[in-house]
Amino acid sequence: MKKSLQMTLKSQSDRYILRGIEMLIAKDRKLKSDFLIYLGEADYRKLYAKEGYSSLFRWLTEKYELSESSALKRIQVSRLALKFPFLYRDIASGKYTLSALGRLAPFVNGANAPILFGGAEKKSVRQVEEFLVTQFPKEDVEDRLRKSVSPLGVDRHQVQFTAGNEFISDLEEARALLSHKLPKGKLAEILGLGLKYLLKELKKPVRKAPSKREMPLAVEAANRILTGSRYIPRGIRRQLDNRDDRRCQEKRPDGSICGETRFLEIDHVQPFALGGANKPENLRLLCWTHNALRAEATFGKWRASKPRMTPE
Ligand SMILES: [Zn+2]
Distance 259 CA to ligand 1 centre (A): 6
% residues pLDDT > 90 (the chain): 56
Distance 49 CA to ligand 1 centre (A): 7
Torsions phi, psi for 303 (to 5 deg): -65, 145
Distance 267 CA to ligand 1 centre (A): 11
Question: Average pLDDT over the chain, rounded to whole?
Answer: 86
Residue 137 in any domain: the answer is: yes
| Same domain membership, residue 235 and residue 123 | no
SS3 11: coil
CB 43 within 8 A of CB 2: no
Look at the chain and report how many structural domains it folds into.
Answer: 2
Q: Is the pLDDT at 305 greater than 70, yes or no? A: no
Distance 303 CA to ligand 1 centre (A): 15
Distance 266 CA to ligand 1 centre (A): 11
Residue 158 forms beta bridges with which residues?
A: 150
Distance 290 CA to ligand 1 centre (A): 5
Q: Is the pLDDT at 222 greater than 60, yes or no? A: no
| Same domain membership, residue 120 and residue 22 | yes
Distance 181 CA to ligand 1 centre (A): 41
| Same domain membership, residue 258 and residue 142 | no
Distance 251 CA to ligand 1 centre (A): 8
Rounded CA-CA distance 201/223 in Å is 30
Torsions phi, psi for 213 (to 5 deg): -70, -30
Residue 57 in any domain: the answer is: yes
Residue 198 in any domain: the answer is: no
Longest dimension (CA), the chain: 94
Q: Print the domain residue range for 71.
A: 13-147
Final residue before a domain boundary, out of 147, 164, 185: 147
Rounded CA-CA distance 124/291 in Å is 41
Rounded CA-CA distance 107/209 in Å is 50
Residue 204 in any domain: the answer is: no
Distance 308 CA to ligand 1 centre (A): 14
Rounded CA-CA distance 35/48 in Å is 15
Distance 246 CA to ligand 1 centre (A): 11
pLDDT in tens, 150-168: 667 777 777 777 778 888 8
Question: What is the pLDDT, as a whole number, of residue 62?
Answer: 94
Q: Which of 122, 76, 121 is nearest to 103 (CA)?
A: 76
pLDDT in tens, 62-91: 999 999 889 999 999 999 999 999 999 999
Residue 96 in any domain: the answer is: yes
The pTM of the whole model exceeds 0.85: no
Final residue before a domain boundary, out of 147, 180, 214: 147
CB 300 within 8 A of CB 294: no
Question: What is the pLDDT, as a whole number, of residue 155?
Answer: 77
Q: Which class for 282: exposed (0-12), middle (13-18), buried (19 or more C-beta within 10 A)? A: middle
Rounded CA-CA distance 292/246 in Å is 18
| Range of lowest pLDDT (80-89, 130-139, 289-298, 301-310) | 301-310
Distance 77 CA to ligand 1 centre (A): 24
Distance 285 CA to ligand 1 centre (A): 9
| Same domain membership, residue 143 and residue 235 | no
Q: Is the pLDDT at 229 greater than 60, yes or no? A: yes
First to last CA, the chain: 52
Distance 127 CA to ligand 1 centre (A): 39
| Same domain membership, residue 134 and residue 25 | yes
Distance 48 CA to ligand 1 centre (A): 10
CB 48 within 8 A of CB 292: no
Question: What is the pLDDT, as a whole number, of residue 102?
Answer: 93
Distance 310 CA to ligand 1 centre (A): 14
Distance 270 CA to ligand 1 centre (A): 17
Residue 54 in any domain: the answer is: yes
Final residue before a domain boundary, out of 147, 181, 199: 147
Distance 252 CA to ligand 1 centre (A): 9
Question: What is the pLDDT, as a whole number, of residue 84?
Answer: 97
Distance 299 CA to ligand 1 centre (A): 18
Distance 210 CA to ligand 1 centre (A): 35
Torsions phi, psi for 158 (to 5 deg): -95, 130
Distance 50 CA to ligand 1 centre (A): 10
| Same domain membership, residue 236 and residue 143 | no
